[in-house]
Copies of this chain bind each other. A is one copy, B any other.
Amino acid sequence: MDTATATATQRRVPRPRADALRNRERIVGAAREMFVEHGSDVPLDEIARRAGVGNATVYRHFADRAELVRQVVLAVTDRVADHAEEGIAAADSGESTAFDALRAFVHAAADERIGALCPMLSAGFDPYHPDLLEGRERLEGAIAGLMDRARAAGQLRTDIAVGDLMIALSQLSRPLPGTACVNVDRFVHRHLQLFLDGLMTPARSELPGEAATLEDLRRH
């Protein structure tokens, strides 16, 4: 019986009320904006105000500040992963060359403010948290797939790995500290473009160190 099933379900994970869900979304959205605009250490009360809820409501949805940050990271991770998968599709369908797809992805990720989230890895943030696991793996897998295709097409130098791209991409698109991240874009896309040029074959120099793999990101 439907009702019974529903009841049973609710008992385990009671379905959130519609307004609660809406609040949750608004909080994550407000946090993302404020992190980008004012850095990751904005007071939670400010986020609550921007979201139009009381401060305690934030705690009803997120156990503590760290969890809120994590959820914001996760949201952005998902959106960036979407872009990477779209890039793969474009490459596979022949809509664009693999390297062009990679280029497009890199610029799209910057526009999604992937770099703005970097500060959230700030002191006390645990990048190995289970909540982030799935999202990260999907993102990394997609980026790896994109790079594989570009490498297979002979366009991407072979001495770099997915970690190299992710770190450099994040760093180059991080907002300059103390800025509202507004006109930084003027530069960011230039620098990403230059970096991408450096990724092309033939390699123009020998790289020091070893390719940064997924595992390396884990071990800092």
Contact = CB atoms under 8 A, between A and B. Distances in A.
Interface of A: 38-41, 103, 118-125, 160, 163-164, 167-168, 171-172, 174, 176-180, 182-184, 186-187, 189-191, 193-200, 203-212, 216, 219-220
Contacts of A39: 122-123
10 closest A-B pairs by CB: A198-B198, A197-B198, A194-B198, A123-B178, A197-B204, A122-B178, A122-B177, A168-B191, A186-B209, A189-B208
Number of copies: 4
B123 A177 contact: yes
A199 B195 CA distance: 8
A172 B165 CA distance: 12
Given A182-B220, A197-B205, 8 more contacts: A39-B123, A120-B177, A123-B177, A160-B194, A172-B172, A180-B220, A194-B199, A197-B198
Given A121-B177, A197-B203, A207-B193, A220 B183 contact: yes
Nearest to A163: B187
B193 A168 contact: no
A204 B210 CA distance: 25
A161 to B, nearest CB: 10
24 contacts: A120-B177, A121-B176, A121-B178, A121-B179, A123-B177, A123-B178, A164-B187, A164-B191, A168-B172, A168-B191, A168-B194, A171-B172, A171-B191, A176-B220, A179-B220, A183-B220, A184-B220, A186-B210, A186-B212, A187-B212, A190-B207, A195-B198, A196-B205, A197-B203
A172 to B, nearest CB: 5
